[in-house]
Amino acid sequence: MTQMPPAVNTIAPLSNVTLCTSALERAMNRPGHLPGMISFYGPSGWGKTSAAAYSANMHQAYYVECKSSWTKKALLIAMLTEMGVMPAPTIYQMTDQVAEQLVLSGRPLIIDEFDHIVQKNAVEIVRDVYEGSNAPILLIGEERLEGNLRRWERFHNRMLDWVPAQPASLKDARHLCQLYCTKSHIEDDLLERIVEFSKGAARRICVNLNIVHDFACRKHMERINASEWGRKQLYTGEAPRRRVF
């Protein structure tokens, strides 16, 4: 044991978690005349869903993750299931049900992988739900989400804010290290290299922290720095280069 763990271990200090939570809170506490949808977007692996898990638990949000095969009806049924409501037979009744439960419960809605819905033209359903409830809705999607939504002007206008997810920084890596590397400490110079190799993706940073931490534990090292790690492989997420024999 090298360090005392903090009183409570949460992912709250990570930059994307802060961004996501504050965005959701902005939508929840907005003055009545402002629109209530927020979009939180960025490349995959940057920790958007992780961040949303924390925000959802903070505010008891309803959460659905869209699938590429979903139709409008599938989306509505998934939302109703998540709310514990028996779906009505028709699309418009289901839309009303979702909106009503959002209004009554006062809980926010988080829709992940929203890109799938944009491609399926089910965007209008989400707009109807929003119009019917004025509930805070957080949409999570890939980098191109903003561009894709431009086609839906009426939808676009109801956005309170566009929040781009941020690449993981050294500060984030330090915090992840504190959370995941409990038996051995990774020094800043090595963390810097990990951040660089991971190209900002929190998911890759976690993989790399794990690799380094396992190594350090095997060697019974209480701390490890860049020179001790040397030129050993780190995970970049890329397929290995072709080797010619």
Partner 1 sequence: MSRVTLKPRNAGRPAIRDAIWMAIRNRSLFTIPELIADTGQKSATVRDYVHALAAAGYIRHLKNATPTSGRGAKIWRLDRDTGIEPPRITLEGQEDTSGRCRDQLWRAMKMLNDFDKADLALHASTEEHPVSVQSAARYISYLRRAGYLARIQPPQGRRPARYRLLNSKHTGPRAPRLVCAGDGVRPRVYDLNTGEYHPLGGAA
| Interface ranges with partner 1 (CB under 8 A) | 8-12, 49-50, 52-54, 56-58, 60, 62-63, 65, 80-86, 88, 93, 96-97, 100-101, 104-106, 112, 179-180, 210, 214, 217
Distance in Å, CB of 58 to partner 1, minimum: 5
3-state SS, residue 70: coil
- 3-state SS, residue 34: coil
State the nearest-atom distance from the C-beta of 243 to partner 1, in Å.
27
H/E element, 99: helix 91-105
**Minimum CB separation from partner 1 for residue 153, in Å?**
26
**Distance (Å, whole) CA 16 – CA 49:** 10
Q: Could you tell me how far CA 192 lies from the centroid of its own chain?
A: 23
Return the number of the residue (150 or 171) whose C-beta is nearest partner 1: 171
Say how far apart CA 94 and CA 107 lie, in whole Å: 18
Between 95 and 198, CB nearer to partner 1 = 95
Question: By C-beta, is 34 or 103 nearer to partner 1?
Answer: 103
Q: At which residue do the structure tokens 């009503």 appear? A: 100
What are the residues facing 138 on neighbouring strands? Answer: 38, 110
Question: Closest separation between CB of residue 66 and partner 1, Å?
Answer: 13
Q: Which is nearer to partner 1, 90 or 157 (CB)?
A: 90
